[in-house]
Amino acid sequence: MVAVEGTVHRSERANRGVELIPTAVEVIVRAEVPLPLGIVDKVGAELDTRLNHRVLDLRKPAVRAVFELRSSLLAGFRDAFIRRGFLEVETPKLLRQGAEGGATLFAVDYFDGRAYLAQSPQLYKQMLIGAGLERVFEIAPAFRAEPSDTVRHITEFASLDGEMGFIDSVEDVRNALEGIVTDAFITTKKDLAGRGNALAERIPEPKTPFPRIPFAKCVEWLGRPGSEEDLGTEDEKAIGEHVDREFGVPLYFITDYPTAIKAGTFYAQRQDTNPRLTYYFDLDFRGLEIASGGAREHRLDRLKANIESAGFDPEKFSGYLEAFRFGMPPHGGWGLGVDRVVQVLAGLPNIREARLFPRDRYRLDP
């Protein structure tokens, strides 16, 4: 590591239009050699090698550019939420009960008992709507013990969650989400362009409204009409390609998910006219799911019935259900995976590159 003094001059040949003519150089600290991976050369390294020596990897301008994008995107999201009257909140990450069942929960010792790392802030968001806050959002870590070794799954991830009360229909939720995403993309693109970050060119300026495509139509495209099986990775990619051909847009909603798929999501509201369907949706970006949400069940009797049909004991959710005993307005919201959005905007082949120090089933260090 060195400190350099000198004179800055304009230069047509320099990448940033300026160059430094040194007049003094001081060696601050000598680095060990050889380095485990190159910093300035164009020779690539395996992802595991890069992550094992992440501090060196982060010195590369191209890697640092990803986290400039991430920082700008989060600032854009916060601004979009606040301008729409949302209040930023913080909910617990140590819980007595998970929101989405026990199969993907991380258990931890909690004094003389057992607790779990939060999969999402879902139940607390709804409780805050019952508290009269009406519009809330949170950007925070979440944890899922899924033994997935894919390029789009990690065990610790950043979740951006929004919830809003007194909705007239699920369309209010979709309108809010697409507006927030659109505004965040536009401000991020502008900010990165001002910094000279080349990733600005990759960020689209979405056109609203995003297409709304019923789940039933999607499975028709896949050649499985009437199917109520959940969509897999290849299914999502095929739907994204179809949307690109038919609509020419990167962002779109898949709506009206079957209850059979969302049965474990007990807070998902079933459609009154067709209980086989929910008011739940996904927001996809070119074949990758980046957000999921919908209208929640706000009626206590139906919510209890949903909990029981999902195989859970309502008594274990007493703190959550108390919020519904004293009046809960119609409400809805979503959870958005920040890391996935960074991955698609930056064009990263692996979601682990979208986090400074990623965690998966094998990696707990550095």
Which candidate in 135, 153, 270, 298 is catalytic?
153
* 153 in active site: yes
* pLDDT tens digits, 203-231: 999 999 999 999 999 999 999 999 999 99
Work out the pLDDT band at 83, boundaries 50, 70, 90: very high
Amino acid residing at 227: S
Which candidate in 159, 292, 353, 355 is catalytic?
292
CA distances from residue 293 to 32, 237, 250, 257 in whole angstroms, order as listed: 50, 20, 19, 10
* 292 in active site: yes
Predicted pLDDT of residue 20: 87
Predicted pLDDT of residue 54: 95
Mean pLDDT of 334-348: 98
Mean pLDDT of 58-84: 97
Mean pLDDT of 128-144: 97
Mean pLDDT of 58-70: 96
Predicted pLDDT of residue 41: 67
Are 121 and 138 in contact by the 8 Å Cβ rule? The answer is yes
Work out the pLDDT band at 33, boundaries 50, 70, 90: confident
As its CATH architecture, domain 56-354 has 2-Layer Sandwich (3.30)
Q: Is the pLDDT reported for residue 15 higher than 80?
A: no
Which candidate in 50, 70, 135, 144 is catalytic?
144
Going edge to edge, which strands form the sheet with 94-95?
94-95, 113-117, 107-110
Q: Is the pLDDT reported for residue 102 higher than 70?
A: no
Residue given tokens 């409400």 in the structure block: 331
Work out the pLDDT band at 144, boundaries 50, 70, 90: very high
Which candidate in 146, 171, 242, 359 is catalytic?
146
Q: Which residues contact 343 (CB under 8 A, 6 or more apart)?
A: 152, 288, 350, 351, 353, 354
Amino acid residing at 318: S
Which candidate in 84, 152, 212, 302 is catalytic?
152
Domain borders along the chain are 1-30, 56-354
* pLDDT tens digits, 256-271: 999 999 988 999 999 9
Q: Is the pLDDT reported for residue 98 higher than 70?
A: no
* 152 in active site: yes
Higher pLDDT, 30 or 211: 211
Which candidate in 138, 156, 236, 289 is catalytic?
289
* 340 in active site: yes
Mean pLDDT of 309-337: 95
Candidates 103, 258, 76; CA nearest to 182 is 76
* 289 in active site: yes
Q: Exposure pattern of 1-22 as b/e (b: 16+ CB <10 Å)?
A: eeeeeeeeeeeeeeeeeeeeee
Q: How many CB atoms lie under 10 A from the CB of residue 276?
A: 11
The token duo for 76 is 């854009």
pTM for this prediction: 0.91
* 146 in active site: yes
Give the side-chain half-sphere CA count within 13 A for 166: 6
